[in-house]
Structure 1
Amino acid sequence: MSIPKPTHRWLIAILLLSVLLRVGVALLMGDHVVELPGTQDQISYHALAIRLLTGHGYSFDAGWYPFTPANTPTAHWSFAYSTYLAGVYGVFGVHPLMARLIQAVLVGAATCLLVYSLSRRVFGERAGLVAAGIAAVYTYFVYYSAALMTESFFMVAALAGLEMAYRLVEKPSLGRAALLGLCLGLAALLRQAILPFVPVLFAWLLWTNVRTFQRSSARTLASLLIAGTVLIACIAPFTIRNYRVYGRFLLLNSNAGYAFYSSNNPALGSFWRSENSVAPIPADLQGRNEAEMDSALMRRGIGFILADPGRYALLTLSRTKEYFKFWPSSDSSLVSNLQRPLSFGLLLPLTLYGLYLARPQLRRWALPLLFFAVTAATYLLSWPTARYRVPTDACLMPLAALALIDLYARLLAGRHAQANRQSL
């Protein structure tokens, strides 16, 4: 990525600020793993990493949420993140702080660089710097960059995939196609929720290359084939592992079925309440392995919808409010009540104004917006929570940057006008 010289100093300052803020939060979270607001999963990843390190594979030494018996193989959690954590523990000892610090530095720098590059590509140099600055201080990003969970690495992998897709359009090559597949593969190994977006991304690439740039459809299809092959190569070892362990097909993780079943169970009615969203496993499914459980629970979740589609529609509307929540609430922690208005509460109005300003350029910004829409729909149809929105918030920051630039220009113009009136 070629960066103009006048920009270097500002971008370096933004990167330093981003890293320092995340390192500070990592130090506050410390060298122990406890349940903090929105970070319950880090307890599971910490436990899995220790089991991997001691030669027990992907398993727990006790019965584990939501349906894993003690000392049995699990596919419920991210294979890639568990392996990362085990690798850090293997080198530095079981010190969560070291994993937090490494993650904070890598994610703090990579997030700002990718947001800068994506923003500059469509909206120009100034928008790139402002968007990177927003990403540096965005409280959700800072908080989750230090948590031992998949969100921050997934965000970087997804943003890198979007960046590589743009580069593949600008200058098609098999190498860039392979890198796109690698980014998507790493994202899938961190959080399989990226997979519904993959066919949309490939359709965008095909449309953009063939219809916009009049390029050969055969060459474009070859690039997509390379990207798809690399993506499959990333996932295949774990699909094979799952088949050997469970004796049936399970593409990657065993969490989709339970999430869909639990988040649509009739006990919720038509109003989403997170405290009632953890449904017990049906008695007749107890004792089945995770692959069987995943498919059986998915079927039952679909059955809930078919039995009462009206309730499902109302429930999904209720989940929308939870997913895009930006105001404090009495049932949330102090940390959550501060984060919401100081992050998404500020980002949302700026994004809406930026969408209005960017109307002539929205076609060029379609890919990040598609990622936002598909990912949001995936979670709204199943399990909504603010932390699942974190990776897609990065796609809104260029629009927020446009809004800030415009508001600042209007403010300066107003001051100049006032000064001119006073001088008369």
Structure 2
Amino acid sequence: MGDANAVRKRGRFVMRPQIVLLLGLLGVCASWGVAPNLGGHGLRALYNAEPPVIDQVVFLTSNDTGFQVDEPASVRWSGYLYQSRAGTVEFAVPGSVRSRLTIGGDTVFDRPAGGANGTRAGAQLAAGFNAISFEIETAGAVAGYMQAGLEWAGLWQSLVPAVYLYPDATTASAAERAVQAARAAAGLGAVGWLLLVLAAGLWLWPQRARLRSRTAVGLGAIVLLAFGLRLLFLADYAAQPTADVLAGGSDHRGYQGAALDYVRGRWPPPAPFYVQPGMSLAMGWLYGAVLPSLRLVQLVQMLLGAGTALLIFEIARRSFGVLTAWIAALLWAVYPLAMFYEAQVTTHALEAVAGALLLLLWMVALQNGAGGRQRIWIVAGLGCTLGVASVLRPTFLILAPFMFASLLAGGAAGWRQRAWAALVLVACTCLPIAPVTWHNYRSNGRFQLLNSSGGVTFYLGNNRDSTGLGEYSPAYWATHYFVSGGKTTYAAQAWRELAADPRRWGQLMVRKTALFLGDAELPNNVDFYKEGVAISRVLAWLPLRFGALMALALAGAGLALWRAGETRDLQRNRLILLVYGLTQAAVVIAFHVFSRFRAPLYPLLAIAGAYPLANIVLAVLAQRWRGVLTGVAGVLAAGAFVGVMPVVAAHAMDAPVVSALPVTALALNIPLEQGITLAGYEPLAAGAPGEPQRITLYWTTDQRLLTDYFVSVQLFSGATKVAQADQAMGTGSFPDYPASAWQAGEIVRDALYVRSPAGLEAPVALAVVVIVYERASGARLGEANLGLLPITTRQASGLPAGAIESGAHIGSAVLRGYAIQEKNLVLYWEAGERAAGDGVVFVHLFDAQGNFVAGADGRPRNGGYSTLAWQAREGIVDAHNLPDVPAGTYMLKIGMYDAVTQVRFAASAADGAVLPDGILPLGSIAIP
């Protein structure tokens, strides 16, 4: 009897959910541990004419990095296919592309594009290594989505696993060990996952009475409703011919391309992560475990999205009450924007799930009554979730200091327990982030926590031309040039431009806040109305839009602040919601605003938006009509506030009008036709060849203009035009202020970027000409010359071997030395401060008696680089032809004079002695 009791006790112990869960986790971990190293597996791939790479799994899709459906492409994989024993294997024949498979020198299939999908071809494989070659070609006219690969038929059709593929033959024993290890890993993994499912069942079984409760049944119905609506939308979405063809250059194309490279074994990339790797890693893992399929990703995201209703219910119950929880879950179930983003291959569907999970775990970690050990496990889960969420969306990490502070300050536990919980949070948060940081450090030797796109994202939303929407403005392209050359960073340039015009930045922040709160769709990569509402009756019929949900949420936030929570737990949970909402909104507004960046707030909006509705329902049931009217009025007031936000955004920023020319500007007041006057311009700054140059102009008019005229800035080297930039007048910086909107008498600031040729021989001074014209007819209204634009590399002066040192001063310049090269005199100048005039160099020859024989005058560098353009301390190599004189010995003297006044520049010797008449003797020279 005692033995039987002991057996039953051991059985109950083994079947405890915690033990089964631990065994399942051990099984999964063991499967990873025994899995073979696939580093030497795969086939050698040649993509078009690119260098060969190794692909562990062989396939090609329309969404691969660098693939364009409208351009021909060819890929050839070669290597060896290992088989444990001889036999016949059937391979799938791709139907959408031309494909050819040869094994052991025999052609298995060679099919043109357009064949039927689902056909197969058999091949007799020998035991051991079989030489294999697989080719895919696309003609550049693939209709819709294309995916083709090396697939074989087993229990089901699948891509040939990497464990059977080798770029070069190895030993049969090593190959066989790898196959057996892969089979063992698959078996352990299957057992592990089955145990995890069993653990879930064992945990749910005692809860079966609760699962039959009205709450559980109701929540189940809401989750089914949410998932059903999402499936209906997915059916509409997938019916589009190009639904799975992701646009080149888009975020979702980038995530998909990286995920496919993960499956091929070419991930992580050799460079640091530019964007956060969480989405690509999750998709890659899913593709590797099941199959590369966008539909699979969409189904998983929609299943998680539907399940988020459960998290929202619990958060709302803990923060506002049961009725609010029901309404919040229902709002989430029918919210169309959540459904739309769950069909996209972007991070935003998972961001909503992660945000809701973080909120719930944070609340549970701070709840009263949680035991010490239990609380530590919850805090560990919170930290791990925060770390994973940050790898998915780095802005979640801003919650870390708030969570840390709340754990230190909250709860009835002693300070040691609180400090221990806070440290556990930090450690567990770092666990998922550390591998990403380590990869970045190994790639370039610099510390980069997650991704490097933060600087460019910040600059896009805050530069001198920014609209707040992250668009690629002229200022961005100019800064991109300098960043690519290592001359600045996006973050540094953003702060410089903010400091230069803080008033504009303040107005920009108001505009971005209004854009964030407003109902207007701000598309980027995807468009809710064009790609959602326009193709799906489900999304079109569901009435709830972002503006309505935001209005409800603002009304709920106001009501929550007006009514203090009945308990401390309610107050704390509402504070958590407030901190989460404010931080996530602030991060988006601080960078730049698009509709999809608001996705992490969707669960919070559903929760807060349900609160005023719940209060109205309770007031109706209690027949408190005044409360009903108050609640409705609050919602309508919030709706009016949200409705006016687009108006605020449109008028938040000043037009580019100044009351007077800035003190830095140079006045011109050149009249043109139609009453337009070029009042002035900002001084032209020197730049290197190929650099973008910002030209700032100031216009005024004495009458109302009826036409939007255009301005052209053209750069000339002598009589040759080397660069040109055109745009509508007044549209050089946001907000646009075209000529037809100008008021008589006001001064309008305008800006253009013009880029000199990268191959321009420097130094050179380019003439800048401004032309105003009517675009339709091409008729000119006039033009003006702004002067010279110095194009120089600012190289310091240096003397070549054989040059004669001087050190004399002529004007503000120093003659470092000179050389005679055949019949040329080469002068090596070092520019001083800005020259007082447009200098002309004179070269005089005198005979032995001091008589003038001949002379030659010329501007520096054959007139290409006026002294007016010289930059302080730069070196100028200046060659002049010697006068044509008979052979003999002559005394050589030089100097410089102003081209306008004809007055010679002052000259002094190297020792400072003043030289009479501004003439510098260089000594005698022999002319053959």
Superposition TM-score, scaled by structure 1 size: 0.83
Taking the TM superposition and a 5 Å limit, the aligned residue runs for 1:331-342 are: 334-335=529-530, 342=544
Indicate the residue corresponding to 1:190 in structure 2. Answer: 392
CA distance change for structure 1 residues 302 and 206 in 2, over 3 Å: closer, same or farther? Answer: same
**Once the two structures are superposed, what CA deviation does each residue of 1:243-276 show, in whole Å capped at 9, x if it has no partner?**
11111110111111111122111122xx535544
The answer to whether the Cα contact below 8 Å between 1:272 and 1:319 also exists between their aligned partners in 2 is yes
The whole-number CA distance in structure 1 between the counterparts of 2:347 and 2:532 is: 22
- Greater strand percent: which structure? 2
The whole-number CA distance in structure 1 between the counterparts of 2:406 and 2:426 is: 14
The whole-number CA distance in structure 1 between the counterparts of 2:339 and 2:433 is: 29
The answer to whether the Cα contact below 8 Å between 2:272 and 2:441 also exists between their aligned partners in 1 is no
**Once the two structures are superposed, what CA deviation does each residue of 1:111-136 show, in whole Å capped at 9, x if it has no partner?**
11111110111222222111111111
One-letter code of the match for 1:302?
A: W
Indicate the residue corresponding to 2:427 in structure 1. Answer: 229
The answer to whether the Cα contact below 8 Å between 2:457 and 2:470 also exists between their aligned partners in 1 is no
Indicate the residue corresponding to 1:81 in structure 2. Answer: 279
Q: How big is the shift at 1:413? A: 5.6
Deviates more, 1:337-346 or 1:318-327: 337-346
Deviates more, 1:192-201 or 1:220-229: 192-201
The whole-number CA distance in structure 2 between the counterparts of 1:323 and 1:405 is: 26
Q: How big is the shift at 1:41? A: 1.8
One-letter code of the match for 2:432?
A: C
The whole-number CA distance in structure 2 between the counterparts of 1:89 and 1:249 is: 30
Larger relative contact order (Cα-Cα within 8 Å, sequence gap ≥ 6): 1
Indicate the residue corresponding to 1:135 in structure 2. Answer: 332
The answer to whether the Cα contact below 8 Å between 2:464 and 2:498 also exists between their aligned partners in 1 is no
Taking the TM superposition and a 5 Å limit, the aligned residue runs for 1:288-303 are: 296-303=489-496
Indicate the residue corresponding to 1:343 in structure 2. Answer: 545
One-letter code of the match for 1:246?
A: N
Q: Secondary structure at the match of 1:267?
A: coil
**Once the two structures are superposed, what CA deviation does each residue of 1:299-333 show, in whole Å capped at 9, x if it has no partner?**
22222222222211111111112212214699977
Indicate the residue corresponding to 2:507 in structure 1. Answer: 314
Q: Does 1:7 align with 2:219?
A: no
CA distance change for structure 1 residues 101 and 320 in 2, over 3 Å: closer, same or farther? Answer: same
Indicate the residue corresponding to 1:378 in structure 2. Answer: 587
Question: What percent of counterpart residues are identical?
Answer: 27
- Greater helix percent: which structure? 1
The whole-number CA distance in structure 2 between the counterparts of 1:180 and 1:44 is: 29
One-letter code of the match for 1:203?
A: A
Could you tell me which of 118, 121, 131 is aligned with 2:318? 121
The answer to whether the Cα contact below 8 Å between 2:279 and 2:346 also exists between their aligned partners in 1 is yes
Consecutive unaligned residues in structure 2, runs of 5 or more: 1-203, 534-538, 627-928
Deviates more, 1:351-360 or 1:238-247: 351-360
CA distance change for structure 1 residues 300 and 330 in 2, over 3 Å: closer, same or farther? Answer: closer
CA distance change for structure 1 residues 411 and 329 in 2, over 3 Å: closer, same or farther? Answer: farther
The whole-number CA distance in structure 1 between the counterparts of 2:408 and 2:530 is: 44
One-letter code of the match for 1:272?
A: G
Taking the TM superposition and a 5 Å limit, the aligned residue runs for 1:47-196 are: 47-59=257-269, 73-109=271-307, 111-170=308-367, 171=370, 172=372, 173-196=375-398
CA distance change for structure 1 residues 305 and 337 in 2, over 3 Å: closer, same or farther? Answer: farther
Deviates more, 1:219-228 or 1:301-310: 301-310
One-letter code of the match for 2:591?
A: S
CA distance change for structure 1 residues 161 and 413 in 2, over 3 Å: closer, same or farther? Answer: closer
The whole-number CA distance in structure 1 between the counterparts of 2:423 and 2:596 is: 32
Could you tell me which of 232, 239, 244 is aligned with 1:32? 244
Q: How big is the shift at 1:155? A: 2.1
Q: How big is the shift at 1:416? A: 10
Q: Secondary structure at the match of 1:249?
A: coil
The answer to whether the Cα contact below 8 Å between 1:138 and 1:343 also exists between their aligned partners in 2 is yes
Indicate the residue corresponding to 1:259 in structure 2. Answer: 457
Q: How big is the shift at 1:342? A: 3.0
CA distance change for structure 1 residues 222 and 138 in 2, over 3 Å: closer, same or farther? Answer: same
The answer to whether the Cα contact below 8 Å between 2:352 and 2:602 also exists between their aligned partners in 1 is no
Q: How big is the shift at 1:397? A: 2.1
CA distance change for structure 1 residues 169 and 414 in 2, over 3 Å: closer, same or farther? Answer: closer
The whole-number CA distance in structure 2 between the counterparts of 1:228 and 1:197 is: 12
The answer to whether the Cα contact below 8 Å between 2:468 and 2:512 also exists between their aligned partners in 1 is yes
Indicate the residue corresponding to 1:203 in structure 2. Answer: 405
CA distance change for structure 1 residues 264 and 353 in 2, over 3 Å: closer, same or farther? Answer: closer
Q: How big is the shift at 1:407? A: 2.2
The answer to whether the Cα contact below 8 Å between 1:22 and 1:104 also exists between their aligned partners in 2 is yes
CA distance change for structure 1 residues 177 and 298 in 2, over 3 Å: closer, same or farther? Answer: same
CA distance change for structure 1 residues 370 and 154 in 2, over 3 Å: closer, same or farther? Answer: same
The answer to whether the Cα contact below 8 Å between 2:462 and 2:494 also exists between their aligned partners in 1 is yes
Q: Does 1:357 align with 2:559?
A: yes
Q: Secondary structure at the match of 2:299?
A: helix
CA distance change for structure 1 residues 205 and 395 in 2, over 3 Å: closer, same or farther? Answer: farther
Q: Secondary structure at the match of 1:360?
A: coil
The whole-number CA distance in structure 2 between the counterparts of 1:41 and 1:412 is: 48
**Once the two structures are superposed, what CA deviation does each residue of 1:168-219 show, in whole Å capped at 9, x if it has no partner?**
112152211110101101110101011122112222333333xxx4x32221
The whole-number CA distance in structure 1 between the counterparts of 2:291 and 2:607 is: 40
Q: Does 1:238 align with 2:436?
A: yes
The whole-number CA distance in structure 2 between the counterparts of 1:404 and 1:234 is: 39
One-letter code of the match for 2:261?
A: R
Q: How big is the shift at 1:371? A: 0.7
Q: How big is the shift at 1:35? A: 4.4
CA distance change for structure 1 residues 319 and 123 in 2, over 3 Å: closer, same or farther? Answer: same
Indicate the residue corresponding to 1:421 in structure 2. Answer: none
Deviates more, 1:341-350 or 1:258-267: 341-350
One-letter code of the match for 1:139?
A: P
The answer to whether the Cα contact below 8 Å between 1:154 and 1:190 also exists between their aligned partners in 2 is yes
Report the count of equivalent residues: 391
The whole-number CA distance in structure 1 between the counterparts of 2:521 and 2:353 is: 28
The whole-number CA distance in structure 2 between the counterparts of 1:328 and 1:343 is: 10
